[in-house]
Structure 1
C-alpha cells in the first residue's frame, strides 16, 4: 500500500507512476486520497481538542466542589457530558473516514521503478539478457502434451475425471521428475543461504490483504467460503506474512526464506493452444524464494535473486531470456519485475517460468513490517521470485531433450530421479 505522506509530498510523481501502470484516473485517485486524509486529520484534531477540553474541565470539578461552588461544578459536569458525547460521535466519524481512506488506498497499485518501460502489454516488455541456443530437434519431434501421452507420465483425462481441467495426475517417472525438480530447487536455494520453511497452503483474509492478493486478485483465488480461507496462489503469500505486524531486529536481517508448495489459480477465461498441456494449470508446484531487506539493499538483493534463477536454468541446460516488464504488464504490487522465459523448441515459443520482483515498501506498509533505525521504526522492503515454477520447466525439459528413442534427463537431475532416460 502506498504511503499517504509520500503521495502528499510527491503528487506529480505519484500521478506519473500511476499513469505508467495504466491506472484508470490517477489525478482523481490522488485527489480523493488527499481529501480523505485531510478529513481524517481534521477530525482527529477536533477529537483531540474535544478530549483535551473535557479533561481540563473535569480537573476543575473537584476544586469547585471543595470550594463549595456546587452550581458551577454541576454546570462543569454537564459540559463534560456534552463533550464526551461529542467525542464519541467524532470517534465514529474518524473510524469511518479512516476505513474509507484505507479502502481507497488498497485500490492504488505500487508505483513502478524508474527503469520500468512504458507500455500496455507483454509486447512492450524489454529483453535485457539471453542465454543459450535454441535446441535443434529431430524430424517428427513432438510437443510435450503428445510426449506425456506416449510415455504415460502425466494424465490430464484422469485429473479431469477426479477434479476438473487443469488438475493433472503425475504418474511413475513423471511423478519422480516432479519430486526431483522440487528437491533440486530446494537444495540449490539452501546452498545459496536460504532458510527452508513449509508453509500452510490456506491463508486467511488478513494475509491476502497483507501481500496484495486482496482485493486485487480475489477472483483468481479459490476460496473455502465456510471458513473465509483462500488456497494460496504462491508460497510468497504465507511466507511473507510470517512477518506481518513485526519489528525485525537488526541481527535478523537480511531474511532469506525458501519454500515449496502446490499453488492454486483459477485463471478464469484461459483457453487456446497457448495454454495447452502444462502451459497453464489450476494447480501446480513451485519453489519460491522470499527476501526481507533494508531499503538501501533491496535492489542489490533483486540482482542476487536473478543470478540464482540464472544458475538453475543453466544447470538444467535450458535456453532462456530475461525480460524487464513494462508498466502495463507488471503486477499490481510490484515496483520492478523481471520475467524469465525458457525456449520450447517443439512449440517454437517462449514459456514464462519465473518472475523475480521487488515490491519496495508497498507490501511492508500493508504488513506493518518494520525495523528500527536510530530508535525510529522504518518500513522494510520485500522481494520474491519463482525458483522455479515446475510445469513449464518440465514441458521444456521434455520437449528440448527428446530423441527418437526416448527423453534424456538433465544430468543435474539424474541423482534425484534415479534414472537418466524415459
Structure 2
C-alpha cells in the first residue's frame, strides 16, 4: 500500500511513478475521493462538537425552568446526530473507494531500476561459472528424469497437468537439495528456520499483496482459506499488526515448504517438465528490517541465494529486473538465472526483492526507533528464493548429466545422499 500523504503532496509525481510501472493512476479521481473523505470527516467532527456543546445547554435550560428552550435544543441535537451519521457514512464510502483505488496499484520502483515493458528490458549485472558444453547431445531434464524415477504421466492421471511423481533416487536427490539449502541458509547466513502454516486466511494474502489482484493465481479452499503460493506469505505475516523495537531487527527467516500456484496467467508456458508446476517445494528467505538497512539487506539476501548456486557448482547470472518485469510488491528485484545445458539457455531459479514499506503498510507492521518513546515507523520487508527445489533439481540433472544418462551428484549433496555419487538410469 502507498503512503496517502506522499500522494497528496504531489499526485502528478505519483502518477509518473505508476506510469513507469505500467499502471494508470487517475489524479482527478484520487483528488476527488481524498478531498471528499476529508470534507466528510471534518463535517462529522464539526457536527459532533456542536452536538456536545448543545447537550450541555440542554441541561442548563431545563435546570433554569425553560422547558421550551430545552426541548428545542433536544430537537437540534437529534438533527445533528443524523447529520453526524450521514457524514460518517460519506467518509466511510470515500475511504473504501480510496482504498480500492490504491490497493490495485503496484509498488513504486526504486532508484536505479531500469525502465522497460518486459524481460527484454532487464539488465545483466554479473555472471558466475562457465556454462557446461558437454561433448554429447545434452538432454533436457524431463528426458533424463524418465529413466531416473520422474513420472509425469501417472501424476497427470490423478491430478492433471503440471504435477509429477518423483520416485527412488531422483526423489532422494530432491529431498537432499531442500535439506542442504535449508541447512546452508541457517548455518552459513544466520537465518532462523521456521515451519509455517501452509493454509492462511485472506488477510495474510492481502498483507503481502497477492489479494485482491491475483486471486486467480491462487488455490482457495472450501472453508475460506488459501494455500500459500510461497512461504513469503506466512513468514512476512509473522509481524502483521505488531510493533517491534529496533533492537529486535533484523528478523531473518527461512522455510522449506510446499507451494501451490494455479498458474492462471501462464497458460501454454513450460507445460513440459518441472519448470512450472502447480505444486513445488521452495526454500524461502524473508527479512524484516529498518528502512536505513533494507538496501544492504537486499544485497545480503541475494548473495545468500547466489552462494547456494556456487556451492552446487551451477553457472548463473544475476539480472536486475526492469519496471515492467518486476512483481507487484517489489521496489527492486534481482533474478538469478541458472544455466540449463539441455535448453541451452539461462532460466530463472530465484527472485530476490525488496518491497520497502509496501507490504508493511498493508499489514500494519511497525517498529519503534531506538531512543524514541512514542514515534513508530513501518518495517521494510524483503523476500527471496534460496532456492526453488524443483528448478534446482532441473539444473543439477542437466548440468551433471553423463552421455549414458547417468547424473553425477554434486559433492555438497553427497552427505545428504548417503554417499551416493551418481544417479544411474534404469
Name the TM-score class by shorter chain.
over 0.9
Question: Would you say 1:74 and 2:71 are equivalent positions?
Answer: yes
Who is 1:154 aligned against? 150
The one-character-per-residue Cα deviations of 1:368-407 (angstroms, maximum 9, x if unpaired) are 1111233212111110000011122111100110113421
Q: Deviations over 1:60-95 (max 9, x none)?
A: 221222211221111111111111111112222221
Contact 1:198–1:260 (CA under 8 A) maintained in structure 2: yes
Residues 120 and 328, structure 1, Cα contact 8 Å, conserved in 2: yes
Of 154-163 and 285-294, deviating more is: 154-163
Question: 1:61 matched to which residue of 2?
Answer: 58
Contact 2:162 2:271 (8 Å CA) reproduced? no
Q: CA deviation at 1:223?
A: 1.2
Which whole-Å CA distance do the structure 1 matches of 2:265 and 2:245 have between them? 44
Q: d(CA) in 2 for partners of 1:52 and 1:379?
A: 33
- 1:402 counterpart SS class: coil
Check if 1:164 corresponds to 2:164: no
Alpha-carbon separation, structure 1, partners of 2:275 and 2:95: 43
Counterpart-to-counterpart distance in 1, 2:32 and 2:376: 26
Contact 1:216 1:332 in 2 (8 A): no
- SS of the residue corresponding to residue 311 of structure 1 reads helix
Contact 2:217 2:265 in 1 (8 A): no
Alignment of 1:125-274 (within 5 A): 125-151=122-148, 153-191=149-187, 192-224=189-221, 226-268=222-264, 270=266, 274=270
Runs of 4+ in structure 1 off by over 4 angstroms are 271-275
For 1:384, the equivalent position in structure 2 comes to 383
Asked if the contact 1:137–1:346 (Cα under 8 Å) also holds between the matched residues in 2, the reply is no
Q: Deviations over 1:176-212 (max 9, x none)?
A: 1121111111111112111111111112111111110
Q: Is 2:328 the counterpart of 1:332? A: yes
Q: 2:106 corresponds to which residue?
A: 109
> Is this contact kept in 2: 1:356–1:385, CA < 8 A?
yes
Report the Cα offset of residue 354 of structure 1.
0.4
TM superposition score normalised by structure 1: 0.96
Unaligned runs of 5+ in 2: none
**Structure 1 counterpart of 2:356, from 357, 360, 364:** 360
Q: CA deviation at 1:254?
A: 0.9
Contact 1:342-1:351 within 8 A present in 2 as well:
yes
Quote the residue 1:21 is aligned against. Answer: 21
Residue 372 of structure 1: aligned partner = 368
State the TM-score, normalizing by the size of structure 2.
0.95
Contact 1:185 1:388 in 2 (8 A): yes
Gaps of at least 5 residues in structure 1 are none
| 1:203 and 1:230 in contact (8 A); partners too | yes
> Which of the numbers 289, 304, 312 marks the counterpart of 1:308?
304
| CA–CA separation in structure 1 for the residues paired with 2:89 and 2:16 | 35
